[in-house]
Structure 1
Amino acid sequence: MAGVSVFERRSTRLVGVDVARCLALLGMIATHVAVARDPDGSLSTLQWIAGGRASALFAVLAGVSLAIISGRRTPVAGAARGRLSLAIVVRAVALVMIGLALAELGTGIAVILAYYGVLFVLALPFLGLGARALLVLAVAWACVLPVVSHVVRPLLPDRQFANPDLDQLAAPGRLAAELLLTGYYPALPWVAYVLLGLGLGRLDLTRPVIQARIAAAGLVVAAGTTVASGFLARRAGFTDVELDAVAGGMFGQTPTDDWSWLLLVAPHSTTPFDLLQTGGSAAAVLGLCLLVVGRLRAVAPDAERAVAIIFGAGTMTLTLYVLHVVLRETLVTPEDDQALLWHVVIVLWVGGLFVALRRRGPLEWLVGLVPDLLRGSRS
């Protein structure tokens, strides 16, 4: 969500990626503000669309951004990679601290930023890989790490169900366990999303044929894993009532008392099926956004600028995510029937204004100061 878009120069931006970032931000806002269940008890449409998928899309797009700033199709090497890695670590530390500070507000939102910062650091060893290796590794990671987590988590300290906050800095072991494996967005299994994004970002994302293949492959994976999970879960004894109960989302992972939990595809269950399904959905959204923006540019060259302004929130997701969390606590609460509308209007208006004025988001500028100096960039 915060991405590393702060590192991307204006001239190298892919507007379709910014559109996808904006959709991810709006999806996460919807899961935080809109009701999860309709009055009849069924899952709401917004929750069905965005639940688990919005945050996964953020993570995949973080990988895409890492690919963009690390050489796109030709990974950076040597001293340049060293400077870039140091810059990413500095930014990651800033994200972790902002995330821990936001938790102090007590909004009830599962704040992603601290986990997100850890994800960037975990991705560093893979910056030198090419597209094919990254995509294969992403699938393998999604299949294997949930199994490792299932075995390891019983050995770790019990998690707290509030957000990791600044007080937990006094217990670094418990904080590390929560950020890596036991928390709401467990970073170690979530590396699969970043690897997927890195792999996609190593492709030529400007080519319509590549964009179409990404969208099609993503849809096939998402649909296939959903069907396979439903079939296997029922064969394992899960009833439709039980599957509906978890369809609204879990808390980052499944219980460890039974291996059959790993067959679920529920949001925030971090099972192999969940990671593959939401990763496929993210790839589909990215491919479709790139395709649509590219088509608009071909038909009406000036349309891309209009799209960039309308979806400008995608260029400053760190600032706007923090603003959303603050608004959720102070000015626009869930008790307001129009809370979601207010959040969306404010986020789109602020994002569009900054893009129209060709300005960076305030937090993107602040958090990027030291990393930009380390990389020698003037974005």
Structure 2
Amino acid sequence: MDNIYRPRAKRIQGYDLARGVAIFAMVIIDFKTFFCIDETFPEWLYTFIEYMDRRAAVALVMIAGAGMTLMLRKAELTKTRNTLFKRAVFLMLCGILIARIWPADILHFYGFFILIGLTMAQLSGPGLLIGAAVFWLVGFLGLSDSAYGYLESFTAGSLPSRFANLFFTGYYPVFPWAALYLLGMWIGRRNLKNRHVTITLLSSGLLVAVLSECAGYFIPGMAIKTVLAHGASDETAAYIFILLSKLTVIDLTLPSPVSIVSGAGTGLCVIMLSFLCATSLKQRPLQYFLIAGKNTLSLYVLHILFIKGFETLPGIGEDYPILWCTAGAILFITTYTLLMRQWLKKFAMGPLESAMRYFPFVKAPRIMKKDPGTSTG
């Protein structure tokens, strides 16, 4: 097989595959969001893509956390920390620029997650889970009407508004999304080469996802019936129903506490299934996901530029069938991977991955291959 698909010893193929699947889903979701406003046939496809909104990002955040843990296992710990810090700064700068045309940018949040991870990297496994629980719990504060109204009252573009966006009101706010990053760091400490561990985590993720979905569906209605049966007034029952609905609704765009748990469950399933597929299937059917997974930053930025450029063309609307949008996204990703395959024959990594490795553009490491037989990482 072509040597560009043989990973370095440093890379873990399961994470690359999971990252590729997640960015693949994110591109499809974004094509659907910009070019398919109304629900169209087939409804099951539209509903599934709608359900996966933000869940692809959950998987990417968790994988990033796991990747940090793996990097910090290196012997040169100080050098690794400096590398991660520079990577965080690079991603935040890129994100700030992209956010000017793409309000849903994740890179500047992603960079801040790395900084949080660096401050908590010395915690034990249980300590990481406790830290994740704290970020998850503080996220509740942004759900109250008074807190949300206060956070939204800041003048747009002001420093307080930017901080409110970063921590509570943005697309991927630190509270509670940093909890997913810390959970990923905890996963990175697990021995996923052990099939028993992988299957156990897969089962746990599936169970968590199912239970959280059931909680979101049943708890508000059951609570209403219970309080009314015990003589509560209609006003009290309505208040309890609204409160529980906010806490249990499965909607990662809010994000509610239960939806974060649900997202973590599906993210865990994506990662564990990717590990099982990477070890049990031949590599060739998965090579396109692997290429995308090793070069997610370039694909992420390129798909944003493509969508923003394409929607400005004359005659381009927002009412295309979901099948057309999905096919367009698949065609875009296929074209990207074919071009990236040619790029990787000469370079060791994607263009933006190389730029991040160079940052701050001094003492740049080698990004050209020594010879055609050198693998990419």
Query: What is the TM-score of this pair, normalised by structure 2?
Result: 0.76
CA RMSD between the two structures = 3.2
- Correspondence for 1:331: 310
Q: What CA deviation, in whole Å up to 9, does each residue of 1:113-155 have, x standing for no partner?
A: 22222221122222123434324543x2364122233465444
CA contact (8 A) 1:53 1:282 kept: yes
Are the structure 2 counterparts of residues 40 and 201 from structure 1 closer, same or farther at C-alpha, using a change threshold of 3 Å? same
The amino acid that maps onto 2:141 is: V
Are the structure 2 counterparts of residues 294 and 100 from structure 1 closer, same or farther at C-alpha, using a change threshold of 3 Å? same
CA contact (8 A) 1:25 1:321 kept: yes
Q: For the pair shown, which has the larger CA radius of gyration, 1 or 2? A: 2
- Correspondence for 2:21: 23
- Correspondence for 1:96: 92
Which among 178, 196, 203 is matched to residue 183 of structure 2?
196
Of stretches 303-312 and 194-203 in structure 1, the one that deviates more from structure 2 is 303-312
- 1:59 paired to 2:61: yes
Which among 309, 329, 350 is matched to residue 361 of structure 1?
350
The amino acid that maps onto 2:63 is: L
Shift in Å, 1:90: 2.0
CA contact (8 A) 1:29 1:340 kept: no
Instruction: Give the Cα separation in 2 of the matches to 1:50 and 1:363.
Output: 26
- Equivalences for residues 209-228 of structure 1 within 5 A: 209-228=196-215
Are the structure 2 counterparts of residues 373 and 193 from structure 1 closer, same or farther at C-alpha, using a change threshold of 3 Å? farther
Of stretches 90-99 and 349-358 in structure 1, the one that deviates more from structure 2 is 349-358
The amino acid that maps onto 2:348 is: R
Listed as ranges, the gaps of 5+ residues in structure 2 are: 1-6, 226-241, 368-376
- Correspondence for 1:187: 174
- Correspondence for 1:38: 39
The amino acid that maps onto 1:127 is: A
Secondary structure, counterpart of 1:210 in structure 2: helix
Instruction: Give the Cα separation in 1 of the matches to 2:99 and 2:250.
Output: 28
- Correspondence for 1:147: 140
- Equivalences for residues 55-134 of structure 1 within 5 A: 55-71=57-73, 80-105=76-101, 110-134=104-128
Are the structure 2 counterparts of residues 81 and 37 from structure 1 closer, same or farther at C-alpha, using a change threshold of 3 Å? farther
- Correspondence for 1:208: 195
- Correspondence for 1:50: 52
- Correspondence for 1:268: 253
CA contact (8 A) 2:205 2:269 kept: yes
Instruction: Give the Cα separation in 2 of the matches to 1:41 and 1:351.
Output: 27
The amino acid that maps onto 1:57 is: A
Shift in Å, 1:268: 1.7
The amino acid that maps onto 2:209 is: A
The amino acid that maps onto 1:285 is: V
Instruction: Give the Cα separation in 2 of the matches to 1:214 and 1:374.
Output: 41
Of stretches 211-220 and 304-313 in structure 1, the one that deviates more from structure 2 is 304-313
Shift in Å, 1:37: 5.0
Secondary structure, counterpart of 2:93 in structure 1: helix
Are the structure 2 counterparts of residues 235 and 36 from structure 1 closer, same or farther at C-alpha, using a change threshold of 3 Å? farther
Are the structure 2 counterparts of residues 182 and 237 from structure 1 closer, same or farther at C-alpha, using a change threshold of 3 Å? farther
- Correspondence for 2:165: 178
CA contact (8 A) 1:68 1:201 kept: yes
- Counting aligned pairs with the same residue, the percent is 24
CA contact (8 A) 1:319 1:364 kept: yes
Q: What CA deviation, in whole Å up to 9, does each residue of 1:44-96 have, x standing for no partner?
A: 2332441221111111111111111111xxxx69xx44443332232222212
Instruction: Give the Cα separation in 2 of the matches to 1:102 and 1:343.
Output: 20
Which among 320, 323, 328 is matched to residue 299 of structure 2?
320
Secondary structure, counterpart of 2:180 in structure 1: helix
CA contact (8 A) 1:87 1:372 kept: no
Instruction: Give the Cα separation in 2 of the matches to 1:12 and 1:148.
Output: 40
CA contact (8 A) 1:145 1:189 kept: yes
The amino acid that maps onto 1:195 is: L
- Correspondence for 2:153: 158
Shift in Å, 1:317: 0.8
Which among 309, 316, 328 is matched to residue 342 of structure 1?
328
Q: Which has the higher contact order (CA 8 A, sep 6+)?
A: 2
CA contact (8 A) 1:221 1:277 kept: yes
Listed as ranges, the gaps of 5+ residues in structure 1 are: 1-8, 162-167, 239-256, 297-302
Instruction: Report how many residues are paired.
Output: 330
Instruction: Give the Cα separation in 2 of the matches to 1:175 and 1:137.
Output: 24
Of stretches 123-132 and 223-232 in structure 1, the one that deviates more from structure 2 is 123-132
CA contact (8 A) 1:221 1:276 kept: yes
Instruction: Give the Cα separation in 1 of the matches to 2:362 and 2:271.
Output: 30
Instruction: Give the Cα separation in 1 of the matches to 2:274 and 2:287.
Output: 12
The amino acid that maps onto 1:225 is: S
Are the structure 2 counterparts of residues 229 and 308 from structure 1 closer, same or farther at C-alpha, using a change threshold of 3 Å? same
Shift in Å, 1:266: 1.5
- Equivalences for residues 221-300 of structure 1 within 5 A: 221-235=208-222, 258=243, 260-296=245-281
Instruction: Give the Cα separation in 2 of the matches to 1:188 and 1:375.
Output: 35
Are the structure 2 counterparts of residues 32 and 18 from structure 1 closer, same or farther at C-alpha, using a change threshold of 3 Å? same
Are the structure 2 counterparts of residues 233 and 193 from structure 1 closer, same or farther at C-alpha, using a change threshold of 3 Å? same
Instruction: Give the Cα separation in 2 of the matches to 1:351 and 1:40.
Output: 28
Shift in Å, 1:346: 2.7
